[in-house]
Amino acid sequence: MATSMADLTVKKADETTNIVYAAKAASAGDRVPAIWKSTTVGTAPAHNPTLAVTARSNADGKVRRMEFTYTYPQTAVSPADGSISVVNLFQGSGSFAIPQGMPQTDLNEAVAQCFNCLAATLVKTAFKDGYAPT
């Protein structure tokens, strides 16, 4: 059963202010990404932070593979002509194997704990610093 596409509202770095990632393209099926863009950031589509999520089954149908990519461009204005270009790109990706035989309660718990761990302050700080905790 697929989830319906919708805008995403998430917290900015200050953990108070909301920012919206607009639903730009719903997935048309396996291997076709659902795409969200934060259109309030940047002046051109290439300057917008973007999240893409794809899904597909493995060969025997026992596992659904969920994958995501996230990009956040840094832009700069050229002093010579005032043009804006991407000068750095924060990129992230991940892949999750969702066993189709796992009870829904266990799957619910696994997904909640995984994403709550990734959202933990310690983990977010490690990513901001660029080093794994020591």
pLDDT in tens, 7-19: 999 999 999 999 9
Q: How many domains does one find in the chain?
A: 2
Rama region for 18: left / alpha / beta (φ>0; ψ in -120 to 50; rest): beta
Q: Are residues 67 and 119 in the same domain?
A: no
Q: Are residues 37 and 94 in the same domain?
A: yes
Q: Are residues 35 and 95 in the same domain?
A: yes
Q: Are residues 92 and 108 in the same domain?
A: no
2, part of any domain: no
Q: Are residues 96 and 70 in the same domain?
A: yes
* pLDDT at residue 1 greater than cutoff 70: no
Q: Which of 42, 47, 50, 45 is nearest to 21 (CA)?
A: 50
Say how many C-beta atoms besides its own lie within 10 A of residue 37's C-beta.
Answer: 21
pTM of the entire predicted model: 0.88
Q: Are residues 65 and 111 in the same domain?
A: no
Residue-number span of the structural domain to which 59 is assigned? 8-101
- For 46-102, what is each residue's pLDDT tens digit? 999 999 999 999 999 999 999 999 999 999 999 999 999 999 999 999 999 999 999
3, part of any domain: no
Q: Are residues 91 and 108 in the same domain?
A: no
Q: Please, are residues 60 and 72 in contact by the beta-carbon 8 Å criterion?
A: no
18, part of any domain: yes
1, part of any domain: no
Q: Which of 92, 129, 94, 132 is nearest to 111 (CA)?
A: 94
DSSP string covering 61-97: SSEEEEEEEEEEEEEEE-TTT--EEEEEEEEEEEEEE
Q: Are residues 132 and 113 in the same domain?
A: yes
Q: Are residues 119 and 73 in the same domain?
A: no
Q: Are residues 84 and 115 in the same domain?
A: no
Q: Are residues 52 and 97 in the same domain?
A: yes
Q: Are residues 67 and 89 in the same domain?
A: yes
